[in-house]
Amino acid sequence: MKLYDCQGAPNPRRVRIFLSEKGIEIPSVDVSIVDGDNLKPEYLAVNPRGMLPTLELDDGTRIDEVPAICTLLEAEHPEPPLLGTTAVERALVLSWDRHMELDGMNAVGEYFRNSAPLFADRVVVGRAGDAQIPALAERGRRSIDVFFDRLEARLAESEYVAGPRYSLADITALCAIDLAGFASVPLPDDRPQIRRWYDVVNARPGVCA
Ligand SMILES: N[C@@H](CCC(=O)N[C@@H](CS)C(=O)NCC(=O)O)C(=O)O
C-alpha cells in the first residue's frame, strides 16, 4: 500500500490523522500542490483528476476520495472504529462527515482559493487556468460563518460531531477549521461548544499527522 500525500493540504491530512488514530504506518509519496506537481503528467497518470490524496494498493488499484480511502482502511483495521459500528452509527458518521466537507471544507476552499495569491490561476482544485472571482471569496467567507453556526448548534447537543464517539467527521471538521485559521479566519470567541470540542480533539496525538 502507498499513499500519495501532500503535507500541509487538508484532505490528505484527514487520511494521515485517520491512519495515525489506527496506528497504521504506510509508505507515502509527497506530491507538492504548491509547486503544481499534482498537475504534471506523472501524477495525472496516477490520478487523472489531479487531486490528493490517492491510496495505491499492492495490486496497483488506486482509490481516491477520503471517505472511500477510510472505508477501506477501516475494513482492514477495524480498531478503533472511526466510521461507526452499527448501521445507524455508520450512516450518521457518513452524513456528518459529508456536512463537514460540504459545509466546512468547501466553504473555506471557496474563500481561500478565490482570495489567496497562491491560487491566482488555480482556483479550481485539480486544474489550472481559472481566474479568481472576488464575489466567490465573499460568498465563501459568509459560508464559513454558516458552517461555524451549524457546528456550534450540533456540538451543543452532541459530544462529538457524529454522536458520542470520535469519528472521521471530527477529523474532517478539525481539518476544515485549521484550514480556515491558515486562511486568516480563526475560530470566533463566541463559539463555546466548538471551542470545548476543539480543545479535546486537537489534543489527540494523531492531529500532528
Ligand atoms: N473530495 C476530495 C477532495 C480532495 C481535494 O480537494 N484535495 C486537494 C488538496 S486538500 C487537492 O487535491 N488540491 C489540488 C489542487 O489544488 O490543484 C477527497 O475527499 O479526497
Residue 12 lies in a domain: yes
pLDDT average, residue stretch 180-207: 95
148-159, pLDDT tens digit by residue? Answer: 999 999 999 999
Using a pLDDT cut of 90, give the percent of the chain over it. Answer: 98
* Structural domain that includes position 110: 87-208
Looking at the fold, whether 101 and 123 belong to one and the same domain comes out as yes
- Name the closest-CA residue to atom 17, ligand 1: 126
Task: Locate the ligand 1 atom nearest the alpha carbon of residue 66 and give its number.
Answer: 19
Pocket of ligand 1 (CB under 6 A): 9-11, 33, 38, 50-52, 64-66, 122, 125-126
For residue 208, what pLDDT is reported? 74
138-184, pLDDT tens digit by residue? Answer: 999 999 999 999 999 999 999 999 999 999 999 999 999 999 999 99
Looking at the fold, whether 61 and 132 belong to one and the same domain comes out as no
Number of domains in the chain: 2
Q: Pick the closest to residue 24 from 67, 68, 99, 78 (CA basis).
A: 78
Which residue among 30, 57, 76 closes a domain?
76
Rounded CA-CA distance 187/191 in Å is: 8
CB 50 within 8 A of CB 8: no
For residue 202, what pLDDT is reported? 97
Residue 175 lies in a domain: yes
Helices 168-182 and 192-201: crossing angle, nearest 10°? 110
Looking at the fold, whether 63 and 99 belong to one and the same domain comes out as no
